């Protein structure tokens, strides 16, 4: 079986991360996550990350530097079987990126978005692997040395 490929973008402003709550009729209703989705056929992961971020937030990242920060396993809805990997990118910013869910192509996938610290996110319904990555990123690692 072929492993499916996904992409996601973490936005970090100071010590907070942009997290969006999944819409009830969608995949993983009520869970919090980052803007993310499937990589299209023959699409480079970073290109897919920029596209998915725009489709879910109506915000363009064309001129922003995205840093690859890790791979997160994706599981079936029941959580019992790995179905793919998510290439995860991060952007650090001083200005908040505020998603416009009403204008976004896929804005209906989320009911709300906000900025939260890793400590606040621990109390939310969120994928355990994403939570671990956010905890690591909250410690201000210098990824330029990797």
Statement: residue 102 has pLDDT above 90: yes
* Angstrom distance (rounded) from CA 97 to CA 58: 10
CATH number for the region 4-138 comes to 3.90.79.10
In the chain the first and final C-alpha atoms are separated, in Å, by 32
Q: What is the pLDDT of residues 26-63, one digit of tens each?
A: 667 788 999 999 999 999 999 999 999 999 999 999 88
Q: What is the pLDDT of residues 1-28, one digit of tens each?
A: 467 999 999 999 999 999 999 886 666 7
DSSP 83-99: EEEEEEEEEEESS----
Global model pTM greater than 0.75? yes
All structural domains of the chain with their residue ranges: 4-138
Distance of CA 20 to the CA centre of its chain: 9
């Amino acid at each position: 079986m072929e492993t499916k490929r996904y992409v996601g973008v973490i936005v970090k402003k100071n010590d907070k991360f942009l997290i969006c709550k999944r819409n009830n009729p969608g995949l993983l209703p009520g869970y919090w996550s980052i803007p993310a989705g499937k990589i299209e056929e023959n699409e480079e992961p970073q290109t897919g990350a920029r596209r998915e971020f725009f489709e879910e937030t109506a915000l363009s990242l064309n001129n922003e530097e995205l840093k690859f920060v890790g791979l997160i396993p994706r599981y079936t809805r029941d959580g019992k079987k790995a179905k793919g990997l998510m290439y995860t990118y991060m952007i650090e910013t001083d200005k908040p990126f505020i998603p416009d869910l009403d204008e976004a192509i896929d804005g209906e996938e989320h009911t709300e978005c906000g900025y939260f610290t890793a400590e606040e996110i621990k109390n939310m319904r969120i994928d355990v692997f994403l939570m671990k990555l956010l905890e690591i990123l909250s410690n201000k690692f210098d990824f330029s040395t990797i």
